[in-house]
Structure 1
Amino acid sequence: MLLSIKTQLKLNSYQRVLMSKHAGIARFTYNWGLATWQALYKDGYKPNHRLLRTFFNNNVKTNPDLGWLKEKNICQKVTEFAFEQLGDSYKRFFKGQSEYPKLKKKGKSSHSFTINASGKPIPIGGTSIKLPTIGWVKTYEGLPHVTASKLTISERAGNWYISFAFEQTPLPVANKIPVVGVDLGIKELATLSTGVVFSNPKTSKRFKKKLARQQRELARKVRGSNQYLKQKLKIAKTHKRVSDIRLDATHKATTTISKNHAKIVIETLNVSGMMANHKLAGSVADANFYELRRQLEYKSKKFGSEVILASRFYPSSKTCSSCGHIQDMPLKLRVFDCGLCGLSIHRDFNAAKNLAHLG
C-alpha cells in the first residue's frame, strides 16, 4: 500500500534561499514550456512535454544569459519534473478534469519543486534527510526509516515542507466494532451510530473577524512595499492556521473511525451543490466533507477496514431507526419524533443508526 507523508523542514537562512531558487527555476521552466507549447500549437505542430524538455536541455540551458539555471547546489532534476507537471496538466485538461494550464506567477502561485536521485532510492529516517545536490536538511519531527523515489518540497505561509510517498504493509487491527454508521454534519463534524460525536471546530467562524481586520490593514498599505508584503504574510499564516485546525480535527476523527471499525458506512453528499448555496458554503467548507471521506477511504485500507457508500438519495434522516417509518424532516428540526412508534432521538444519531443498518 502506498502512503504519503508531509512534514515541515527546519531550515536556516541559506537553505531557505536555496529552496526559493529551486522553486523559481521550476516556475521558470514550467512557464517556458507552456508558452512554447502554445506557440508551436498555433503554428500547426503537436508538441509534447518530452520534446520540449529535450529542446530546453540542449538549447535553453546552454544560453550564457541563463547561467543561473545551472548554479552550484541546484539539482538539475527540477526542470525534468517541471516538464512532467506540464504534461500532466495538459492530460487533465484534455480529459476534461481541469481547466487549461495557466502561467505560474511569483507570489501568487504555490512555490514547489520535485527532485530525485537519478532513479536511485532516497533513504529517509529520523530528523535529517540528505537531498540530492542540496545536501542535509532537518525536520521538526522524526520520520519512518523508508525509501522514496522522489521528493516534493513546497512553501506555504513562509514555511517549507517536504512530502514523499512510500510503500507500507496494511496494519489490520483486532477487536473492531463490526459496523458503524457515520452521519456527517455542519454543527457536529461526525456522529457515529455508537453514540460517539466528533465536534466541528468551526474555524472559519472563529477567525472571521481577525481575517477581516487583517484584510483592512492590507488595503491601507502601499501595494508592493515591505509593509504590504509583511501584512500579506500575516494573512497567509492566519489562513494556514484555519486550515491546520480543520485538518487536525478531520485527521483525528478519521483515524479513530477507520482504526476501530470493520465496516464504515457513510453517506454520499453532493458537496459541490451544497457549496453553491451561499448560506451554507462557509459552514460546508468548515465541515470538510470531501476531505473526511477521502481520508476514510485511504485510512481504511491502512487499517484493514471497509468503507461502504450509501446512496445520495437514501433517506437516512427521514427514516425511523426503530420501526422504519419515513416522514419529512426539515433542517431546522434537530430531534426526530417518530409519528408511528413514538421514538424520540437526535436527528444525527438517528441518521447514523440508519446508515449502520445498511452495513
Structure 2
Amino acid sequence: MKLRWTFRCYPTPEQECLLARTFGCVRFVYNHFLHERNAAFTRGERMTYSQTSAALTRLKRDPDFAWLSEVSSVPLQQSLRHLQTAFRNFFEKRSGYPSFKRKTGTQSAEYTRSAFRFEVGNQRLLIAKLGRLKVKWSRRVPVEPTTVTLIRKPSGHYFVSLVLDLTPAPLPKTGKETALDFGLEKLATLANGEKIDNPRYLKRYLKKLARVQRLLARKQKGSKCYERAKRRVAKVHEKIANCRKDHQNQLAWMLVNRFDVIYLEDLNLRGLVKNHNLARSLQDAAIGGYIRTIEAKAIMHGKQVVKVDRFFPSTKMCCRCGQLYSMPLEKRQMECDCGNVMDRDLNAAINILAAGQAVTARGDGVRPDPAPA
C-alpha cells in the first residue's frame, strides 16, 4: 500500500535559493508545454508525453534556456508526467481542463529515487544538488521512500512529502457497526446517540483573519511590506487547514478503532454549497474531508465503509414506522404519528444504519425496485 507521510523541513538560505529556482523551472516547464499542447490542439494535432520529453531535451540545449540545467533534471521530467496525468484525468472526466501554474500559491518539486538518497539507519535525506536536508522527523521512517516531494506553502513554510510502500497492521475486529449523519449544528451524529461537536475553525479564527486581511489591503502591491502581510494571511489560512486536518484524523481514528463497518450517506456536497445561506458553514465544516479521511483510514486498517444512496430519505423517514414527513431545516425533531419523538439527526443516523445493513445484506442499492410493467 502506498502511504504519504509529510514532515516539516528547514532548508538553509542557500538551499532556499536553489529551491526557489527549482520551483520556478518546474513551473516554467509545466506552463510552457501546456501552452504547446494547447497550440497543437488548435492546429488539429496531438502532442504526447514522449514528444514533450524530447522537446524538453531540445529546449535545455538552447542557450537562451541554459538556466534549466542549473537545477536537477528529475523534477522537470516529473512536471511533464504531472501534465500528462492532468490531461488524462480531464479526458476521463475526473477533473477539469489543466490550468497554468501560478507563482503565488503552493510550489512543489518531485524527486524520484535517482535524485535522492535516504539512509534509514540515521534518518538522513540527501537531495540532488541540494545536499542534506534538515527534516523534523515526527516519527521514524521505516523504509526508503519511492518519491520525495519538496513543498513550499504560501506561508513560507517548507515540507517534505514521502511516498512509502507500507502495509499497516489491521486493527482488531470489534464486531460493532455504526452510521454517521453529518450536519452543521453538530458535525456528526452516530446511530448510538453520540454527537460530535462542530469545531467551526473558520469562525474561531475569522476575526484574526479579517484583521490581517485589512492590514494586507493597506499595503502597496509589490512592496516588501505587502509580501510580509501576505504571508501573515497565508499563515492564518494554514492554521485553520491544519486544525481541520487534525480533527479529521482524530475522528476517523476513533471510528475505525471502535467499529468494523461505518455507514455514510453519499452526499452531493457540490450541490449543497450552492445554497449561499449555508455555503460558508458547509465549507467550514469540511464534510468532504471527513468522509475521505474515514474512507482512507478504513482501507488502511482493514475496516469497511459503506455508502448509502444520496436519494434515500434518511431525514424525512421515521425510523420506527417508515412514515415520510416534510422536514425543513428549522425543524430539529422528528415527531411521528406513531409516537416517535426523536432528534432529527439521530433519526437519520438510525435510518442510514438500517439502509446500510440492507446494502451489505443484498449487495445492491437501497432505492426501491421499480414496479413491474
Same fold per superposition (TM over 0.5): yes
What CA deviation, in whole Å up to 9, does each residue of 1:133-161 have, x standing for no partner?
42221322234212222122211121111
Q: Which amino acid aligns with 2:209?
A: L
Structure 2 unmatched runs, 5+: 358-373
* 3-state SS of 2:242 partner: helix
Match of 2:346 in 1: 349
User: Which one of 309, 312, 315 corresponds to residue 310 of structure 2?
Assistant: 312
Which is strand-richer, 1 or 2? 1
Question: Structure 1 residues 119 and 161 mapped into 2: Cα distance closer, same or farther (>3 Å)?
Answer: closer
How far apart, in 1, do the equivalents of 2:115 and 2:218 lie? 50
How far apart, in 1, do the equivalents of 2:175 and 2:344 lie? 22
Q: Is the 8 A contact 2:30 2:80 kept in 1?
A: yes
Aligned pair 1:80/2:84, yes or no? no
Q: Is the 8 A contact 1:171 1:303 kept in 2?
A: yes
| TM-score normalised by structure 2 residue count | 0.87
Q: Is the 8 A contact 1:187 1:200 kept in 2?
A: yes
Deviating 4+ runs (over 6 angstroms): none
Match of 2:36 in 1: 36
Task: State the Cα distance separating 1:26 from its structure 2 match.
Answer: 0.4
Q: Which amino acid aligns with 2:234?
A: A
* 3-state SS of 1:27 partner: helix
Greater relative contact order (CA < 8 Å, ≥ 6 in sequence): 1
**Structure 1 vs Structure 2 CA RMSD:** 2.2
Q: How does 1:244-283 map to 2 (within 5 A)?
A: 244-283=242-281
How far apart, in 2, do the equivalents of 1:316 and 1:90 lie? 38
How far apart, in 2, do the equivalents of 1:102 and 1:227 lie? 29
Task: State the Cα distance separating 1:102 from its structure 2 match.
Answer: 2.6
| TM-score normalised by structure 1 residue count | 0.91
How far apart, in 2, do the equivalents of 1:86 and 1:61 lie? 18
How far apart, in 2, do the equivalents of 1:117 and 1:61 lie? 22
Question: Structure 1 residues 70 and 318 mapped into 2: Cα distance closer, same or farther (>3 Å)?
Answer: same
What CA deviation, in whole Å up to 9, does each residue of 1:73-128 have, x standing for no partner?
x3210110011111122222333333332322212x43111111239985557754
Question: Structure 1 residues 126 and 233 mapped into 2: Cα distance closer, same or farther (>3 Å)?
Answer: farther
User: Which one of 231, 244, 247 corresponds to residue 233 of structure 1?
Assistant: 231
Question: Structure 1 residues 260 and 217 mapped into 2: Cα distance closer, same or farther (>3 Å)?
Answer: same
Q: Is the 8 A contact 2:252 2:293 kept in 1?
A: yes
Aligned pair 1:110/2:106, yes or no? yes
Task: State the Cα distance separating 1:182 from its structure 2 match.
Answer: 0.9
Q: Is the 8 A contact 2:115 2:128 kept in 1?
A: no
Question: Structure 1 residues 113 and 53 mapped into 2: Cα distance closer, same or farther (>3 Å)?
Answer: same
Q: Which amino acid aligns with 1:21?
A: R
Q: How does 1:1-359 map to 2 (within 5 A)?
A: 1-57=1-57, 59-71=58-70, 74-107=71-104, 109-118=105-114, 128-140=124-136, 141-156=138-153, 157-340=155-338, 342-358=339-355, 359=357
Match of 2:363 in 1: none
Q: Is the 8 A contact 1:266 1:308 kept in 2?
A: yes
How far apart, in 2, do the equivalents of 1:350 and 1:267 lie? 14
Give identity over the alignment, percent.
Answer: 30
Structure 1 unmatched runs, 5+: none
How far apart, in 2, do the equivalents of 1:332 and 1:213 lie? 33
Task: State the Cα distance separating 1:23 from its structure 2 match.
Answer: 0.9
Task: State the Cα distance separating 1:224 from its structure 2 match.
Answer: 0.6
Q: Which amino acid aligns with 1:54?
A: A
Task: State the Cα distance separating 1:29 from its structure 2 match.
Answer: 1.1
Q: Is the 8 A contact 2:182 2:189 kept in 1?
A: yes
Q: Which amino acid aligns with 1:184?
A: F
How far apart, in 2, do the equivalents of 1:27 and 1:318 lie? 50
